[in-house]
Amino acid sequence: MKQEFHIPIDETIAVDAKAANILAAQSELSKQAIKQAMKKGAVWIEDTKGIRRLRRAATIPARNSTLHFYYAPHVLDEVPLTPTLIADEGDYSVWSKPPVMLSQGSKWGDHCTINRWIESNEPFETQPQRNCFIVHRLDRAARGLMLIAHKKNVAAKLSALFEERNISKCYRIIVEGQFSENIQIMDSDIDGKTAYSSASLLTYNAEKNRSLLEVSIKTGRKHQIRIHMSHAGFPIVGDILHGIASADDPHPEELQLSAFSLDFTCPITQKYREYRSQEHLQW
């Protein structure tokens, strides 16, 4: 069961009280449980600097600040999956995100996000300790390539590539049905915003009546490919939200959508870069 605790740091709190002790007293949870929750991103502090996650149990909150604790045992019990390092470029790295791994946390925690996994596991051979900044997002159910910046200014430059559409993104998907051999353009609006996708057939599996497609997009609306393919009559295999897959299926198929390639001119070195995912979709 989810619980929220919002604790103002006023005269009723000892001036030298540590965050973990305050939270333990208010929530009646053990200090060990509090420390784990803080490590996993479930505790926030709000003060004159704004609101941000608080991970250090020994922090002494300033007077007139507020501690926010979002306790959801089922979220904290989740175990993050392991992403695959595709390329380490120093100022940024390229990863293949597995299905279910998050690209963005919530107020209840962030330990299952790809950036926190990287920061916590220090997977690099050189300069292992690096900050991680999310440049773009990928649906939780999807898999494939993600850029992770390791400096704020690099994150801004890489984000600009997406915003200015100076990056080529291709996806691979498996859909239900036999897709046409002609390239199909889909440009219906999504949530009132312009959206553009194009899909082409790579191969058709007659036995399962499914098609492997390559899709490119010029915009990045939420669930864009999934919505466009569903509207076109070719729902993506495993898509519970927009396709024909059922959440009640005792053995549901994974969403067969992969961010397959990223091509762009690196804003740091000005060299053209091409990255390809090692993930394989399943018929």
Question: How many angstroms separate the CA atoms of 158 and 253, rounded?
Answer: 33
Residue 110 annotated as catalytic? no
Helix (H) or strand (E) holding 202: strand 197-205
Question: Which residue's entry shows tokens 């020994």?
Answer: 58
Of 139, 189, 239, 248, the catalytic one is 139
Strand-pairing partners, residue 212, are 174, 203
Structure token pair of residue 165: 């559409």
Question: How many angstroms separate the CA atoms of 243 and 226, rounded?
Answer: 8
Structure token pair of residue 219: 């915009």
Question: How many angstroms separate the CA atoms of 257 and 143, rounded?
Answer: 6
Question: How many angstroms separate the CA atoms of 98 and 76, rounded?
Answer: 19
237 neighbors 175 (Cβ within 8 angstroms)? yes
Question: How many angstroms separate the CA atoms of 72 and 27, rounded?
Answer: 12
Question: How many angstroms separate the CA atoms of 187 and 243, rounded?
Answer: 19
- State the first-to-last Cα distance of the chain, in angstroms, to the nearest integer: 37
Tell me which residues are annotated as active site. 139
